[in-house]
Amino acid sequence: MLAAIPSGARSALDVGSGDGMLAAELRDVISEVVAIDLDGDVLRRAAVEHSGIVWVRDDVMT
């Protein structure tokens, strides 16, 4: 997945982020990462584990 990031990308959106592992990997190479998931408990745990990411509890379809 990381190999598919376009050169010069400055932001990324991780939809259905779950535990935030992909969001954290994206944050290593992109300066602005937003992660969205419906599960607030999972997002709270992910936020403790991974800094520098904007965590959003919501439904991307709405």
pLDDT digit string, tens, across residues 38-52: 999 999 999 999 999
Q: Tell me which residue range forms the domain holding 31.
A: 11-57
Structural domain contains residue 62: no
The pLDDT-based confidence of 1 (bands split at 50, 70, 90) is: confident
Chain centroid to CA 2: 13
Structural domain contains residue 3: no
- DSSP secondary structure code for residue 2 in this structure: G
Structural domain contains residue 36: yes
pLDDT (mean) for 31-42? 96
User: Model pTM greater than 0.75?
Assistant: yes
> How many domains would you assign to the chain?
1
